[in-house]
Amino acid sequence: MTKALLSTAKMSMTPNYSPPDMVLDKGRGTRVWDTEGREYLDFAGGIGVLALGHGHPKVVDAIREQATLLQHVSNMFYHKKHIEMCAKLASLSFGQKVYFANSGTEAIEACIKLARWYFFSKGTPRTQLVSTINSFHGRTLGSLSLTGQPKLQEGFGPLLPNVTNVSYGDTDAMQQAVNKQTAAVVIECIQGNGGVLVAPPGYLAAVRDICTQAGTLLIFDEVQTGIGRTGKWFAHEHDEVLPDIMAVAKMLGGGLPLGAMITTDEFANVLEPGSHASTFGGNPVACAAGLATIEAIRQEELLSHATRMGEFFQKQLTELAREFPNRISEVRGRGLMIGLKLKEPAKPLCRECVKHGLLTTIAGSEVLRFLPPLNVSKQEIEETMNVLQTVFQ
């Protein structure tokens, strides 16, 4: 059966992905199984989407219940889970107002549009945007224009004009790039796809000051870091710096597609009916799954658990790095967003891990990235370390 599926995959799927030759079939918690019955530890989590692992009973119940009750109505009508999810995110964050999209890139598009619309509506249009080198903000053309990785942009131009990329962590470069024409600075609190680079201490605060001085809006891309990934609801809480607008997605929908733009009354209230919209945004089932996820994170005290497990994992990885100094250069990250910087390409190693029953992701060309669920156990981390030991040997 697996062989037939793989050959159908090769015939019928566009070739812009290159998954290993196996077909995943089911999952429970931090484990998944393929169609041959082989078991894997899932430290990829659907690229950091699964806050509670696979098939968490509270999430499954919420999805089942909502799917039975009301599946979709779009935004011409209010529905309960949409309202509750907006209120929940407002209560957890600096913001008061929430707009739902279906993905990270769409949440970023909404942020870009709000920033430009804000200045337009004030009668002082600004169109320039600043983002960072090696950033990742998504694949649709607006977000891709901000994404500071030429290899992802090549062949898709022309992109948005008036975008400047500056070096991540370089306050002077940011100061020089931002002026009274700059609508917004868009920045990740930890560069994820670019290699799991945590903002240097004081950097986000400096960027905040630069934006405030120029009247520029500060947009945090917390698509990957949000909803507890780093041990706080949002990664900017570590730095005690507040943005004007924030994009969240990945873990937001409890495994279903859901993205959000969160902002304050001041900025949100310039929007008018019709100024932006999404057919699927705020889908009742996705909102129900998201609400159940947030509730479980709270009930099961997973923010502190993620912090502890992240520290444990990083410590173990640091020991591994000491054992293989010719192959590993650094361990970095925060909470359960962790990167192992190698001195060699990460992709072959990632493939080797799959063969030994461990699913991970890569970030940039030389970083092996781990995004396990927030409820991962110490024992699962130890098992992962055993696989890594084997693979490095």
Catalytic residues: 136, 221, 250
Give the nearest distance from C-beta 143 to ligand PLP in angstroms. Answer: 7
Q: Are 175 and 210 in contact (CB under 8 A)?
A: yes
Q: Is 223 in the site for ligand PLP (CB under 6 A)?
A: yes
Rounded Cα distance, 139 and 153, in Å: 9
Which lies closer to ligand PLP via its Cβ, residue 140 or residue 175? 140
Enumerate residues 6+ apart whose C-beta is below 8 A from 79: 70, 73, 284
Rounded Cα distance, 286 and 49, in Å: 13
Which lies closer to ligand PLP via its Cβ, residue 147 or residue 316? 147
Give the nearest distance from C-beta 301 to ligand PLP in angstroms. Answer: 25
Which lies closer to ligand PLP via its Cβ, residue 136 or residue 203? 136
* Total of residues contacting ligand PLP (CB under 6 A): 15
Half-sphere exposure of 193 (CA within 13 A, CB side): 22
Give the nearest distance from C-beta 103 to ligand PLP in angstroms. Answer: 3
Contact stretch for ligand PLP (CB under 6 A) within 130-138, 156-164, 262-270, 336-344: 130-138
Give the nearest distance from C-beta 224 to ligand PLP in angstroms. Answer: 3
Rounded Cα distance, 134 and 1, in Å: 41
Q: Is 221 in the site for ligand PLP (CB under 6 A)?
A: yes
Enumerate residues 6+ apart whose C-beta is below 8 A from 117: 270, 271, 275, 276
Q: Is 249 in the site for ligand PLP (CB under 6 A)?
A: yes
Give the nearest distance from C-beta 247 to ligand PLP in angstroms. Answer: 7
Per CB under 6 A, the list member of 50, 54, 168, 188 interacting with ligand PLP is 188
Q: Is 283 in the site for ligand PLP (CB under 6 A)?
A: no
Which lies closer to ligand PLP via its Cβ, residue 132 or residue 384? 132
DSSP 119: H
Give the nearest distance from C-beta 32 to ligand PLP in angstroms. Answer: 20
Q: Is 104 in the site for ligand PLP (CB under 6 A)?
A: yes
Q: Is 109 in the site for ligand PLP (CB under 6 A)?
A: no
Per CB under 6 A, the list member of 103, 131, 230, 263 interacting with ligand PLP is 103
Rounded Cα distance, 265 and 272, in Å: 13
Q: Is 136 in the site for ligand PLP (CB under 6 A)?
A: yes
Span 190-209, contacts to ligand PLP by CB under 6 A: 192-193
Contact stretch for ligand PLP (CB under 6 A) within 101-109, 274-282, 320-328, 360-368: 101-109
What count of other Cβ atoms lies within 10 Å of the Cβ of residue 209? 15
- Structure tokens that stand for 171 in this block: 């306050």
Which lies closer to ligand PLP via its Cβ, residue 237 or residue 383? 237
Which lies closer to ligand PLP via its Cβ, residue 221 or residue 244? 221
Which lies closer to ligand PLP via its Cβ, residue 187 or residue 340? 187
Q: Is 138 in the site for ligand PLP (CB under 6 A)?
A: yes
Q: Are 199 and 220 in contact (CB under 8 A)?
A: no
Closest CA to 51 of 223, 258, 229: 229
Closest CA to 143 of 108, 113, 119, 115: 108
- Integer CA distances (angstroms), 151 to 133, 154, 219, 323, in order: 12, 5, 24, 33
Give the nearest distance from C-beta 105 to ligand PLP in angstroms. Answer: 3
Q: Is 364 in the site for ligand PLP (CB under 6 A)?
A: no
**φ, ψ for residue 233, nearest 5 deg:** -55, -45
Q: Is 134 in the site for ligand PLP (CB under 6 A)?
A: no
Rounded Cα distance, 236 and 224, in Å: 12
- Integer CA distances (angstroms), 253 to 24, 191, 227, 248, 286, in order: 21, 21, 10, 10, 5
184 bridge partner residues: 129, 217
Which lies closer to ligand PLP via its Cβ, residue 42 or residue 188? 188
Give the nearest distance from C-beta 38 to ligand PLP in angstroms. Answer: 27
Contact stretch for ligand PLP (CB under 6 A) within 20-28, 134-142, 238-246, 355-363: 134-142
Q: Burial code of 154-184, b = ≥16 C-beta within 10 A, e = fewer?
A: eeeeeeeeebbbbebbbbebbbebbeeebbb
Q: Which positions lie near ligand PLP, rule CB under 6 A?
A: 103-105, 108, 136-138, 188, 192-193, 221, 223-224, 249-250
